């Protein structure tokens, strides 16, 4: 089980409390598809992904980004059992979606950068540390059921 | 591969942070040590407390080197040749794709903190590609 200090929990919660899940989720997913274009392989049916502008404006990208980040919220509500929270999603990503777990790490890092650009100096080193830890734990949990 | 557009964006971003190299370097390194403790293992001889002179000095060195690379985007291999030797034969930092990944991530966070909305997806992409290219050059002589 992952140990979270009181400070880490507080830093995670305080940032999360200010996050617009729809905007942030959309932005993080769009950046994943832009910065690491090979990740587009998982989204053949999303329509126009031909340029950064197209990706950012794509309604399917926005909707899916929101879905992904909403799911992140579940992890934050269940910091003491992220493994359990993501058990089914892990199986899904392996068996149905066939996503290489490396992509979870990429998305996690991108999310941290998105938060940094939104929160500026409020995204302190301690904040970054807590969030890098969180995205790492989520990535690990999502990869756990792979076989 | 860095496109002409990427190179332009990188140079623009660097222009925006001109004069703040020392702060950016120190902030980046401090975040890296804080978020990725294993990176501290390469600095047992440093005072790693926040704001230490050594962190500031080294941060400035790193960012200055990146600045040199940015002035020589068409010939990174040559521009970073000395540093490449140093990392491969002296420092032997665990293959740069791991160490630089953490440095690159923290540099991106610092730039994003400073530039906010100006750290657009396109800029983000260009900087990410640049840091990958730097990591590749630094790893060239490892074996």
Give per-10-residue mean pLDDT for chain A (147 aa). 93 96 97 95 93 96 96 94 93 90 94 98 96 96 91
> Does some domain include residue A14?
yes
Per-residue confidence (pLDDT) for residue A131, from 0 to 100:
97
Cα–Cα distance, A85 to A68 (Å, whole number): 14
Q: Predicted ipTM?
A: 0.85
Contact B58, B5 (CB under 8 A): no
> Does some domain include residue A54?
yes
Cα–Cα distance, B128 to B107 (Å, whole number): 10
Nearest to B121 among A31, A128, A132 (CB): A31
> Does some domain include residue A74?
yes
Per-residue confidence (pLDDT) for residue B139, from 0 to 100:
87
How many helices and strands, by DSSP H and E, does chain A display?
8, 0
**Mean pLDDT to the nearest integer, B114-140:** 94
Cβ separation of B124 and A112 shorter than 8 Å?
no
Angle at B106 between CA B101 and CA B108, to 5 degrees: 95
Nearest to B116 among A30, A56, A117 (CB): A117
Count the residues in chain B: 143
Fold exhibited by the domain B4-139: Globin-like (1.10.490)
**How many domains is chain A partitioned into structurally?**
1
> Does some domain include residue A88?
yes
Per-residue confidence (pLDDT) for residue B91, from 0 to 100:
87
Per-residue confidence (pLDDT) for residue B97, from 0 to 100:
67
Confidence of residue B7 (pLDDT cuts 50, 70, 90): very high
Domain ranges of chain B: 4-139
By the CB < 8 Å criterion, does B22 face chain A? Answer: no
Per-residue confidence (pLDDT) for residue B143, from 0 to 100:
84
Q: What's the pLDDT tens digit per position in B91-106?
A: 888 877 677 889 999 9
Q: How far is CA B104 from the centre of its chain?
A: 6
By the CB < 8 Å criterion, does B20 face chain A? Answer: no
Q: Which structural domain, as residue segments, surrounds residue A44?
A: 6-146
Query: Which residues of chain A approach chain B closer than 8 Å at the C-beta?
Result: 27, 30-31, 34-35, 52, 55-56, 109-110, 112-114, 116-121, 123, 125-126, 128-129, 132-133
Per-residue confidence (pLDDT) for residue A113, from 0 to 100:
98
> Does some domain include residue A1?
no
Per-residue confidence (pLDDT) for residue A2, from 0 to 100:
87
> Does some domain include residue A78?
yes
Q: How far is B48 from chain A (nearest CA, A)?
A: 14
Q: Which of A117-131, B31-45, B107-121 has the lowest mean pLDDT?
A: B31-45
Contact B25, B59 (CB under 8 A): yes
Q: When comparing pLDDT for A121 and B18, which is higher?
A: A121
Per-residue confidence (pLDDT) for residue B124, from 0 to 100:
97
Angle at A21 between CA B107 and CA A77, to 5 degrees: 95
CATH number at residue A100: 1.10.490.10
């Amino acid at each position: 089980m992952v140990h979270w200090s009181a400070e880490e929990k507080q830093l995670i919660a305080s940032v999360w409390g200010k996050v617009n899940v729809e905007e942030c989720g959309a932005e993080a997913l769009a950046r994943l598809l832009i910065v690491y274009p090979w990740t587009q392989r998982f989204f053949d049916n999303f329509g126009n992904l031909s340029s950064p502008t197209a990706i950012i404006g794509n309604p399917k990208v926005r909707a899916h980004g929101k879905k992904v980040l909403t799911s992140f919220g579940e992890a934050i509500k269940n910091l003491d059992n992220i493994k359990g929270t993501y058990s089914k999603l892990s199986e899904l990503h392996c068996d149905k979606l066939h996503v290489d777990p490396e992509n979870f790490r990429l998305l996690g890092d991108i999310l941290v950068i998105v938060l940094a650009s939104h929160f500026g100096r409020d995204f302190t080193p301690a904040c970054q540390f807590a969030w890098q830890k969180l995205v790492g734990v989520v990535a690990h949990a999502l990869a756990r059921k792979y076989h | 591969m860095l496109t002409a557009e990427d190179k332009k964006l990188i140079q623009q971003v660097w222009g925006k942070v001109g004069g703040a190299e020392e702060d950016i370097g120190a902030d980046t390194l401090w975040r890296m040590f804080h978020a990725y403790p294993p990176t501290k293992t390469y600095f047992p001889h440093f005072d790693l407390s926040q704001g230490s002179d050594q962190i500031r000095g080294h941060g400035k060195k790193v960012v200055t080197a990146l600045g040199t690379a940015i002035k020589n985007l068409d010939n990174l291999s040559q521009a970073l040749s000395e540093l490449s030797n140093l990392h491969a034969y002296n420092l032997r930092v665990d293959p740069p794709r791991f160490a630089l990944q953490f440095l690159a991530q923290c540099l991106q966070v610092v730039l994003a903190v400073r530039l906010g909305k100006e750290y657009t997806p396109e800029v983000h992409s260009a900087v990410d590609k640049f840091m990958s290219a730097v990591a590749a050059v630094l790893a060239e002589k490892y074996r």
